[in-house]
Amino acid sequence: MTALPPILLVGGGRMGSAMLAGWRARGLSSAIVVDPSAEAGRLAGSGVIVVPSFGVIPAGFTPEAVVLAVKPQMAADALPAYGRFAGRAVFISIMAGKTIRSVGHMLGVKAAVVRAMPNTPAAVGKGFTVAVAGAHVSPPQCKLAGQLLSAMGELAWVEDEDLLDPVTAVSGGGPAYVFLLTELMETAAIAQGIPPDLARAMARQTVIGSAALLAASAEDAADLRIAVTSPKGTTEQALAVLRADHAWPDFFSAAIEAATKRSRELSD
């Protein structure tokens, strides 16, 4: 396996640290993480240096990729200094809502920017990332970005950047919806008299097992749902409540629409 080139990671939070773990597994040669938090120190070692700010990045460090993993609200203050790497490095932005144009404006109009939206299962190598390459990204830079992003799980490229807003709503926020479902199942089980420890274990493993079955099956999710739903059985009764007057489908559609709208609001 070819070692990955030097990487500069701006932001060592949950997603940044998940990406770093994936790169290490793929043969990371060297990296610098810029993060002022005390917790970021845990990322150091095995060729990785952690620094608190841009100003203390070693002068001779020349990354081939700069990964922008800061909060979108911090971008305007944090990003401009990194424009000095434009012309050599590809910039990979995982900031929700920030467009290629807006990131390029902060870095310099000729910056090679890839915009991507991963999700938190990246922390265990099971993430799903959707990415789009800006006009100034060369084929070798696109290949490198693909190597870095696929280290977290599955990767899909799209050409229409507008798709990244609903992607953020569905895939980026999707784990939270699954966790909420798990939480609600646990709460409902307790309400029916099941002991809390058993309710928690049952809800978690039901979601985990269902996801594994979905991953192992070539059938659509709808077909798997139908297979579980016996006519006039208990599951059919539960689904009748959830789908009454299209309640669950309508609420879920409205939730995705609201998240998509918010992603667009964050764009500039």
Per-residue model confidence (pLDDT) at position 29: 85
Sign of the dihedral defined by the CA atoms of residues 197, 198, 199, 200, in that order: positive
pLDDT tens digits, 86-124: 989 999 999 988 999 999 999 987 899 999 999 999 989
Give residue 263's pLDDT. 87
pLDDT tens digits for range 14-60: 899 989 988 988 888 889 999 999 889 899 988 899 999 999 998 88
pLDDT, tens digit, for every residue of 58-67?
888 999 999 9
User: Does one domain contain both 95 and 197?
Assistant: no
The pLDDT assigned to 238 comes to 94
Assess whether pLDDT exceeds 70 at residue 268: no
Residue-wise pLDDT for 230-248, tens only, equals 999 999 999 999 999 888 8
Share of the chain above pLDDT 70, in %: 99
Q: How confident is the model at residue 159 (pLDDT cuts 50, 70, 90)?
A: very high
Tell me, what DSSP letter sits at residue 193? T
- Looking at residue 176, its pLDDT comes to 96
Residue 200 above 90 pLDDT? yes
Predicted local confidence at residue 97, as pLDDT: 85
Secondary structure (DSSP) of 217-232: --S-HHHHHHHH--TT
Residue 45: domain span: 7-164
The values of phi and psi at residue 31, to 5°, are -155, 150
Candidates 182, 188, 227; CA nearest to 206 is: 182
- What is the spatial distance between Cα 41 and Cα 18, in angstroms, rounded to a whole number? 15
**162 φ/ψ angles, rounded to the nearest 5 degrees:** -60, -25
Mean pLDDT of the chain: 93
Residue 45 maps to a domain: yes
Residue 2 lies in a domain: no
Q: What angle do CA 66, 67, 69 make, to 5 degrees?
A: 145
Instruction: Identify whether 100 is part of a domain.
Output: yes
Give how far Cα 128 sits from Cα of 75, 155, 172, 265, Å: 24, 6, 8, 23
- Do 141 and 195 have their domain in common? no
Q: Is residue 1 part of a domain?
A: no
151 and 34 in a common domain: yes
- Residue 169 resides in a domain: no
CATH classification at residue 53: 3.40.50.720
Contacts of 168 (CB under 8 A, 6+ apart): 96, 97, 117, 259, 260, 263
Side chain identity at 131, as an amino acid letter? A
156, 226: one domain:
no
50 close to 20: Cβ distance less than 8 angstroms? no
Tell whether 56 is covered by a domain.
Answer: yes
Apex 62 CA angle, 59 and 68, nearest 5:
105
In total, how many domains does the chain have? 2
